[in-house]
């Protein structure tokens, strides 16, 4: 069977412009000279009308102690499906009348969940509740994969890259298919040199702050200008905001709910002016008001 040669129609404009460049220049392997001559034929562009901004695909980690509302906030994301490692999230899901709940006990369940989400047009958000347990499942699956009994051996650092790459795969695969991603992460006691500091630190996928656009910590207290404020209801501390320049992100927002994120997270602000208004909204006095 004869091959059909298919060429794209380029119109007459390219031919007309090329005619203004000498044939010798077009055929000699000197692109700098050729492009400089093409530049001499160029016209000034007319600026195009920018398309309306689309709501971006979000990758968000929601961090907090038990009872601060991590699962509730995650379920405010649109058309969510939830992978539950603890078996508790179904109680929260009933409030949202959402039945896309899957109880996972091994990493194969995680793979199956990702496969189902990327093939489902009616799912826009994948929630992993909680990320620490998914990491543990990835560790166990890696041991089975490599036929090892421990990851932390002399070559432990090398072996653990398999775990990190599995977690990266989850994020990258869902992103590639246009899905929002929400990881919830618990808090744990902080230790330094094997001594408990009295503070808390996130307990989840270690690379999440690098892989995710937003990291929000739900908290019932915060410090501003060296003064601590105690709250009844949690707010969201913005640990990372990849959408604005450092120093121009809101330090805190009212919650980690989806609509609050859309309303609050994308615009750069003056932090001092914002915090003055933010604290007024919480019925707190800033130092400027004292």
pLDDT at 29 (0 to 100): 67
CA-nearest of 201, 206, 207, 204 to 219 is: 201
Identify the structural domains of the chain with CATH numbers, from first to last: 59-212 (3.40.50), 217-237+245-290 (no CATH)
Query: What's the rounded Cα separation, in Å, for the pair 116 and 272?
Result: 45
236 phi and psi angles, rounded to 5 deg: -110, 120
Average pLDDT over residues 261-279: 93
Q: Tell me the chain's radius of gyration from C-alpha atoms.
A: 26
pLDDT at 7 (0 to 100): 44
Strand pairing partners for 235? 219
pLDDT at 105 (0 to 100): 95
Please, which contacts does 38-45 make with residues 24 or more away whose CB atoms are closer than 8 Å?
Answer: 41/17
Tens digit of pLDDT for each residue in 62-109? 999 999 999 999 999 999 999 999 988 988 999 998 889 999 999 999
Q: What is the DSSP string of 204-245?
A: S-TTHHHH-SEEEEEEEEEEETTEEEEEEEEEEEEEEETTS-
> What percentage of residues in the chain have a pLDDT greater than 90?
56
| Enclosing H/E stretch for 278 | helix 271-281
Residue of higher predicted confidence among 29 and 167: 167
Binned at pLDDT 50, 70 and 90, residue 10 comes out as: very low
Instruction: Please tell me the least confidently modeled range out of 7-21, 24-38, 60-74.
Output: 7-21
Average pLDDT over residues 224-234: 92
Query: What's the rounded Cα separation, in Å, for the pair 277 and 272?
Result: 9
Q: Provide the mean pLDDT of the chain.
A: 87
User: Is 0.85 surpassed by the pTM of this model?
Assistant: no
Q: Is the dihedral of CA 173, 176, 181, 185 positive or negative?
A: positive
Cis peptide before 130 (omega within 30 of 0): yes
The answer to whether the beta carbons of residues 179 and 126 sit under 8 Å apart is yes
247 phi and psi angles, rounded to 5 deg: 90, -10
Q: What is the DSSP string of 66-114?
A: TTS-HHHHHTTSTTEEEEESSS-HHHHHGGGT---EEE--SHHHHHHHH
CA-nearest of 77, 86, 63, 70 to 181 is: 77
Give the N- to C-terminal CA distance of the chain in Å, as an integer. Answer: 87
Residue of higher predicted confidence among 11 and 3: 11
CA-nearest of 236, 246, 285 to 269 is: 246
Query: What's the rounded Cα separation, in Å, for the pair 98 and 107?
Result: 23
Please, which contacts does 107-114 make with residues 24 or more away whose CB atoms are closer than 8 Å?
Answer: 107/134, 107/137, 107/138, 107/140, 107/141, 107/166, 108/141, 109/83, 109/137, 110/83, 110/134, 110/137, 110/138, 110/170, 113/81, 113/83, 114/170, 114/173, 114/174
């Amino acid at each position: 069977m004869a091959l059909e040669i298919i060429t794209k129609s380029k119109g007459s404009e390219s031919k007309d412009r090329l005619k203004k460049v000498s044939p010798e220049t077009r055929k000699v392997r000197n692109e700098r000279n050729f492009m400089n001559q093409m530049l001499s034929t160029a016209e000034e562009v007319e600026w195009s009308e920018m398309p309306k901004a689309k709501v971006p695909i979000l990758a968000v980690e929601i961090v907090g102690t038990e009872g601060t509302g991590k699962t509730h906030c995650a379920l405010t994301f649109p058309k969510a499906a939830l992978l539950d490692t603890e078996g508790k999230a179904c109680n929260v899901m009933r409030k949202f009348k959402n039945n896309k709940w899957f109880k996972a006990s091994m990493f194969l369940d995680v793979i199956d969940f990702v496969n189902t989400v990327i093939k489902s047009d009616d799912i826009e958000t994948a929630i992993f509740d909680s990320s620490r347990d998914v990491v543990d499942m990835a560790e166990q699956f890696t041991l089975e994969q490599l036929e090892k009994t421990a990851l932390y051996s002399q070559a432990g650092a090398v072996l653990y890259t398999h775990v990190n790459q599995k977690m990266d795969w989850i994020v990258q695969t869902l992103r590639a298919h246009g899905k929002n991603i929400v990881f919830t992460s618990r808090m744990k006691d902080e230790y330094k040199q094997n001594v408990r500091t009295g503070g808390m630190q996130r307990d989840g996928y270690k690379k999440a702050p690098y892989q995710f656009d937003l990291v929000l910590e739900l908290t019932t207290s915060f410090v501003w200008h060296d003064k601590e404020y105690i709250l009844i209801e949690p707010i969201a501390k913005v640990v990372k905001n990849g959408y604005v320049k450092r120093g121009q992100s809101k330090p805190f927002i009212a919650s980690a709910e989806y609509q609050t994120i859309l309303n609050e997270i994308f615009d750069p602000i003056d932090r001092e002016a914002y915090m003055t208004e933010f604290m007024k909204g919480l019925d707190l006095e800033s130092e400027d008001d004292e």
